[in-house]
Structure 1
Amino acid sequence: MSLSAPHACLHYTQFDHSDMPVTALAKDYMHGQTTDRHSHPHAQLIYAVRGVMLVGTDQGQWIVPPSRAIWMPAHIDHWLRMIGEVHMRTAYIHPDAAPDLLTACRVVGVTALLRELLLAAINIELPSAADTRDGHLMQLLVDEIKDVQPFSLQLPNPQDSRLMQITKTLSQNPEDDTTVELWAERLSITPKTIHRLFFKETGMTFGQWRQQARLLTALERLAQGEKVLSVALGLGYNNPSAFATMFKRQFGVPPSRFFDELN
């Protein structure tokens, strides 16, 4: 199952931009639907009440499971693919409303309060005055977004053409266990160069990047109801317990309980 950008896309209609500091939109998608590459003049907090989203930019890909959201700064080209039926709730933040918010894409936690604020925001009629109940609610939404905590659900994209050959293979075939030495031989460079470039361009070692690719693919497959054993074997693990140990080390719960914990 590939983490590469989608090709067959659902036409995306941008939300009608407003001069209001904060606006919100509800939109539902079927499994497998995708958006075209697009950007917005406003920053976004993109959250799925139901379902899982795969989000991609030129910098990387993110899996966004339930109880998580993705922060998307203004003017960043991005696309989304829906895993399962997705009920998306998005807040659009005017650049002048909170200039000190995150400046890079991040998967972030969604507190119970933030979730309820998002659900309330989509029902607010515009325009709303700042000194009204609705205006105060929207300001509280911005304040909650300022306090979101980031999570490590990113797979950063390298820009070096040689590394891109490696990451393309690992994204399309996460079970691939080709060693750094073999990759170095294929690419006519040294293993040391691969290690150095990986860390320089992604902030990860080769092994960490491959493990992250497997973890994000695992989340995508688990979200579609695939059994843990099948996921582990499909990712190249001969021993499912080794997969479960790696998964728990990263997310704090075993794969069999991940989506139960989030829900």
Structure 2
Amino acid sequence: MGFLAPEDGVHALDLCAGEACDLPVFGVAVRYPAGHVVPQHKHPYGHLIHADRGLLRVEAESGQWLVPPTAAVWLRSGVAHRLVAPVGLQAHGLFVREDICSHFPTADCVVHVSALLRELIMALARAGNQTQSTKRMRLLGALLIEEVLAQPVLPLHLPWPTGGAESQMQHVCQTLLDDPGDGSTASEWADRLAMGEKTFHRRFLQSTGMTFGKWRQQLRLMSSLTPLMQGIPITQVALASGYDSHSAYTTAFSKQFGQPPSTFAANS
């Protein structure tokens, strides 16, 4: 059971086996080539997404997540999302029945993946294997719920402005997403949008829930994870991400992720 072949340009999910078993938690697994994109879609289930390598990008109306192999994204049922695989990877998707979702986080988020949680995700992703007993899969699903709740929520979410009224803020965010090193100040953005600087700050905070400075720093740090995993020198990553120096980038990275970029790169 899994995604239909991405090389054939097909993006639908084959969930028949899991649905037929009536398991509270079931899963699928698929290998995606580098650069593969799964167009926006949604499921009538809660959805836990994990990739075995690289950085899987998950995009939804409420925000974007960059997910390393040590983390997984939790999405509530019915949340439309798009997947982007910058490198070749295997994705594991778990689906949680709506009546079970109350046991999971109440908001879309990224959770740490412990060694035990990783093994549970991989085992449940094989739920369509007829050699697996239903009793065993139910027990694994129950243990997975407990293990997810024991994991810390990670700061890998980038809130995104929603609604037509926020089109100006969406333009700002998209421009910065395309070029995280863009050094335009809030005052410069306000001038471009023909509004006062205080108005710009107020509208940005209202539409994203974060200040402009904090949002941009979050974007820069999240965007820097991919080149770090590709082995690009830290100083080069720092400058491309809009930081003035290696030390300034390292300080911000360590504060955000709890480890210096050198450690993250070595463990990737």
Query: Would you say same fold, with TM above 0.5?
Result: yes
Q: For 2:143 and 2:196, how far apart are their aligned partners in 1? A: 53
CA distance in 2 between counterparts of 1:10 and 1:224 reads 27
Q: Percent identity?
A: 37
Question: In the TM superposition, what are the counterparts of 1:161-200 in structure 2 within 5 Å?
Answer: 161-200=167-206
More helix by share: 2
What displacement does 1:21 show? 0.9
Q: Deviation digits for residues 8-55 of structure 1, max 9, x if unmatched?
A: x95312131413211121111111111011111111111112221011
**C-alpha deviations, 1:116-147, integer Å up to 9, x for none?**
111222334359776x3332122212222233
Aligned to 2:177, the other structure's residue is in SS state helix
Work out the CA distance in 1 between the residues paired with 2:250 and 2:243: 10
In structure 2, the residue corresponding to 1:171 is in which secondary structure? Answer: helix
Q: 1:81 aligns with which of 84, 88, 93?
A: 84
Amino acid at match of 2:26: T
Per-residue CA deviations over 1:214-241 (Å, capped at 9, x if unaligned) read 1111012222332212211212323122
2:44 is the alignment partner of 1:41: yes
Q: Give deviations 1:202-225, integer Å, cap 9, x for gaps.
A: 121110111111111101222233
Q: How does 1:1-263 map to 2 (within 5 A)?
A: 10-17=9-16, 18=19, 19-124=22-127, 125=129, 132-159=135-162, 160-261=166-267
Q: Secondary structure at the match of 2:226?
A: helix
SS at match of 1:50: coil
Instruction: For residue 254 of structure 1, report the CA deviation from its aligned partner.
Output: 1.3
Q: Name whichever of 61-70 and 25-34 sits farther off.
A: 25-34
The structure, 1 or 2, with the larger RCO (C-alpha pairs under 8 Å, 6+ apart) is 1
Alignment CA distance shift 1:122-1:161 (3 Å): closer
Cα distance between partner residues in 2 of 1:123 and 1:162? 44
For normalisation by structure 1, the TM-score amounts to 0.88
C-alpha contact 1:34 1:82 (8 A) present in aligned 2: yes
Query: Does the Cα contact within 8 Å between 2:221 and 2:241 map onto a contact in 1?
Result: no
Q: Secondary structure at the match of 1:225?
A: coil
In structure 1, distance between residues paired with 2:171 and 2:120: 43
In structure 1, runs of 5+ residues without a counterpart are 1-8
Q: What corresponds to 1:6 in structure 2?
A: none
Structure 2 gaps, min length 5: 1-7
Letter in 2 for 1:28: R
Q: 1:113 to 1:182 in 2, by over 3 A?
A: same
SS in 1 for 2:40: coil
CA distance in 1, matches of 2:187, 2:180: 18
What one-letter code is carried by the residue in structure 1 that aligns with 2:153?
P
Q: Is the 8 A contact 1:89 1:119 kept in 2?
A: yes
What value does the CA root-mean-square deviation take over the aligned residues? 2.1
CA contact (8 A) 1:84 1:224 kept: no
Contact 1:156 1:202 in 2 (8 A): yes
Secondary structure of 2:253's counterpart equals: helix
Distance in structure 2 (CA, Å) of the matches to 1:201 and 1:100: 29
Normalising to structure 2: TM-score of the pair?
0.87
